[in-house]
Amino acid sequence: MNVEQVMRLAPVIPVLVIEDAAHAAPIAEALVKGGLFALEVTLRTPAALDVIREMSKVEGAVVGAGTVLNAADVEKSVAAGATFIVSPGLTTGLCESARDTGVPLLPGTANASDIMRGLDQGLTHFKFFPATAAGGLPALKSLTGPFGAVRFCPTGGITLATAPDWLALDAVLCVGGSWIVPAGPPDLAAIEARAREAAALSA
């Protein structure tokens, strides 16, 4: 599966910060049942790699690693079962590592220079991050002019209420959403309900 196929699995990719690997499979099952299949597990907790391992066992879940900062993170994530990589930024080393391992990469970009560095690396799909803080919809609309062939997954500060505005842009294939699985003990019924709402959005 390439990065565009991952981005087209559903209009929202849940951005997950999970502290306890015991919660991983039930959360993944609730998300998949709700219609969200691409799951981004951020490397922000000590349990993250174990969470990736457990979620990867759930049928229908396409599990990626987020907050990937360097080649070592890429290698550990892929070894744990991550099938795509998401980063808050873009470096040559990160691009080379993803290319060497053959894993799809969705690097973070916030401006034209970031995108141009990515294009130099042969990439055409990017995370626009932090979406709201980096200028929001007006900023991304401005960037789609000179970069008409580029496709984006805006992430950062997006909510269920604002997601449709982002998804209305032709250049946006999906958005990243942290609202679907809030911090704390998981309420699986509520997670599934929020996943259904998100999956019903149009991309």
CATH number at residue 147: 3.20.20.70
- The CA radius of gyration of the chain, in Å to the nearest whole number, is 16
Q: Which of 127, 141, 192, 197 is catalytic?
A: 127
Please state, in angstroms and rounded to a whole number, the distance separating the CA atoms of residues 122 and 62: 23
Residues in the chain: 203
Alpha carbon distance 198, 23 (integer Å): 21
Catalytic member of 4, 29, 33, 40: 40
Run means of pLDDT, 10 residues per run, the chain, 203 residues: 97 98 98 98 98 98 98 98 98 96 97 97 97 97 96 97 97 98 95 98 77
What is the predicted pLDDT for the residue at 203?
Answer: 56
Q: Is 141 a catalytic residue?
A: no
Which position has the token pair 């900062």?
69
Q: What is the pLDDT of residue 202?
A: 78
Task: For residues 2 and 25, give the distance between their C-alpha atoms in angstroms, rounded to a whole number.
Answer: 24
Q: Which residue has the tokens 């209009």?
A: 11
pTM of the predicted model as reported, rounded to 2 decimal places = 0.96
SS3 content of the chain, % helix, strand, coil (to 5): 40, 15, 45
Domain carrying residue 147: 3-199
Verify whether residue 127 is a known catalytic residue: yes
Task: Quote the number of domains for the chain.
Answer: 1
Mean pLDDT of the chain: 97
The pLDDT, as a whole number, for residue 32 is 98
